[in-house]
Amino acid sequence: MRKRRDAAHRSEKNGQTAAGALYPMLRGVTAGLFLMAALLLAFSFLLTKADVPFSLLGPITQLIAAAASLLAGWLSARALRRKGLLVGMGCGMIVFLVLLALALCFDTPIDLQLVLKCACCILGGGIGGVLGVNPKPRRRKAAA
């Protein structure tokens, strides 16, 4: 019985379990959230020093969320080296769920901005995942 259950949870391609993908994804999401915190801190400092129109706050935070999700998806897919789009979109969804939890803690209304932020996170994570599993080939230096 034990053997059959383990085989059902393994990938057909290389024998890795689904739980084995969890650690690289959590590591990527953590790095993405740290990047988001750093970028939001830099943006808030910019807000105190410059006169930024209120209409730019939403798009800039969406770009920051997309950049954080892109990094999370890229790191996770780079570590797993497979299923980049799926892994990246999963990381983007986790980043968005963290943002949603924080928004609900502070009684932020669920509106179009939050839906757009969800789309940016998932799209950014997917792009990062695709870039993570498809690295550029390195050029070898020609021997002289």
Complete DSSP assignment for 124-141: HHHHHHHHHHSPPPPPPP
Ranges of residues in the chain with a pLDDT under 70 are: 1-19, 142-144
In angstroms, the CA 49 to CA 132 distance is 36
Global confidence as pTM: 0.79
| pLDDT for 7 | 47
Sequence-distant (≥ 6) Cβ neighbours of residue 111 within 8 angstroms: none
- What is the predicted pLDDT for the residue at 73? 93
What was the pLDDT predicted at 52? 84
Q: How far apart are CA 105 and CA 129, in angstroms?
A: 29
Buried b (16+ CB within 10 A) or exposed e, 26-35: eebbebbbeb
Question: So what's the pLDDT on residue 16?
Answer: 59
Determine the Cα–Cα distance for residues 100 and 93; give it in Å rounded to an integer. 10
